[in-house]
Copies of this chain bind each other. A is one copy, B any other.
Amino acid sequence: MEDFKVPAEEIDYRIKKIQELLLKKGIDGLFIVQRVDLFYFTGTAQNGVLYIPSEGEPLLSIIKYIPRALKESPVKNIVEIKSIREIQGLIRDLYGKIPHILGLEFDVMPVKDFNYYKTLLPAKEFVDGSPLIHQTRMIKSEWEIEQMQRTAGLSRKTFEYMRSAIHPGLSEMEFAGMFETFARKQGHGALLRVRNYQTEGYPWHILSGKSGGMVGLLDAPTSGAGTSAAFPCGGGSKLLSTDEPIMIDFGTVLNGYHMDETRMFAIDSMPDKALRASRAAIEIHDELLEKTKPGMTVSELFQISLSRAKKMGYEDSFLGPRGYKVTFVGHGIGLELVEHPIVAKGRDNRLEPGMTFSLEPKMVFENEFAAGIESVFLVTEIGCRLISKVPVEIFIC
């Protein structure tokens, strides 16, 4: 086991931040059930629910397993419950009343659960608390950035392993299994967390040759072949060959914090067209690294990438083939693989220091191949820097 614990100051700070937002919005309290949000605000991911009043101490009620929750979480009020039905009484006892306006995680809570919680917590009004949660989680603390840097170190080692272990004849899924096993030996948590119930996170997005040119279901430039019609994305049974472009998009997670990085690989060589596109993607990547600054909007970032792609003649393939392009070039990242902000066309979120997001300029040549790169960026006081530690290069092995 890792010697890992979320510090008390970190939890205090997060609770204060969201309480400020609750007060500002006139919401009396927030009722948190989703595992990642619970972990973010308490330091434990045990089975339980968290009530955060707009003022005062939060209450963490644990169904299972309280000894571990007590060890992991610095939250002061932690109680054991046998059933979620005890919640109403506990809140009433501790705070003297049930909140009038209560925030819930409407972006993840199913309708069926909501109907149940409505009977359990008879507030006057239920509102969507998830935007406040995203706003709080979007800006990372120094401590969180340190965690992501640790994940970045693990990821760099894994990409170096890929360089040494790749060889022709391995299937995409087999090679993914090999590098994931390497990463797991060093703490990789293996399961990538994605908030949206329709998006399935997985670390085997390895697309060799024609697999990269397969358009598919994903809201991403590339989808890949996948393992069957039931799971038609990511790696498949295609064998890796020499002289083809191989895109490896690897999501890593250590102590809950994700990295998401893509590099182009080739065994021996790759065709000129793919090599040029791979280099063009690096040029866009480097221009983004130079120009990303606090105060810009995410839409401006998107436009910079698009303009550069056009200038280099990649308008048709950039972010997907015509008719199937995505309108974002990156996404926030942290305790979930996809967080705010989404670096998308037309969105006006302004960059702030402490934001972390992946930027992934990618070109897709339908039925041919994909080429691109992806790194995780941190917005600083004066500009930005890479959290990613994987060399910014094409891995010819």
Complexed CA–CA distance, A338 and B219 (Å): 27
Complexed CA–CA distance, A203 and B45 (Å): 19
Mask, A214-255, CB within 8 Å of B = 1, is 011111000101011111100011100000000000000111
The answer to whether residues A229 and B173 also contact, given A106-B111, A109-B111, A237-B1 and a CB cut-off of 8 A, is no
CB of A35 within 8 A of CB of B1, answer no
CB of B324 within 8 A of CB of A64, answer yes
CB of A177 within 8 A of CB of B184, answer yes
**Distance from A365 Cβ to chain B, minimum over Cβ atoms (Å):** 15
Question: How many copies make up the complex?
Answer: 2
Mask, A175-218, CB within 8 Å of B = 1, is 01110111011011111010001101010100000000001111
CB of B232 within 8 A of CB of A45, answer yes
CB of A173 within 8 A of CB of B190, answer yes
**Distance from A7 Cβ to chain B, minimum over Cβ atoms (Å):** 12
Q: DSSP majority for the A interface?
A: loop
Please give, as numbers and ranges, the residues of chain B lying within 8 Å of A107 by CB-CB distance: 110-112
Count of A interface residues, CB-CB < 8 Å: 76
CB of A197 within 8 A of CB of B197, answer yes
Mask, A94-137, CB within 8 Å of B = 1, is 00000000001011111110110000000000001010000000
**Distance from A144 Cβ to chain B, minimum over Cβ atoms (Å):** 12
Contact of A110 among B33, B108, B180, B189 (CB under 8 A): B108
CB of B46 within 8 A of CB of A230, answer no
Complexed CA–CA distance, A238 and B43 (Å): 22
Complexed CA–CA distance, A122 and B107 (Å): 21
Judge whether A335 is part of the interface by a CB distance below 8 angstroms.
Answer: yes
Complexed CA–CA distance, A275 and B216 (Å): 49
Contact of A65 among B104, B187, B215, B236 (CB under 8 A): B215
**Distance from A302 Cβ to chain B, minimum over Cβ atoms (Å):** 20
- Which A residues form the contact surface with B (CB < 8 A)? 1-2, 4-6, 33-35, 39, 43-47, 64-65, 67-68, 72, 104, 106-112, 114-115, 128, 130, 171, 173-174, 176-178, 180-182, 184-185, 187-191, 193, 197-198, 200, 202, 204, 215-219, 223, 225, 227-232, 236-238, 253-257, 324, 335
A-B contact pairs, 16 of them (CB 8 A): A1-B228, A2-B237, A35-B200, A44-B232, A65-B216, A65-B223, A68-B216, A72-B229, A109-B110, A109-B111, A109-B197, A110-B197, A177-B181, A190-B227, A193-B200, A228-B254
User: Nearest 3 CB-CB pairs, A to B?
Assistant: A230-B256, A177-B181, A47-B217
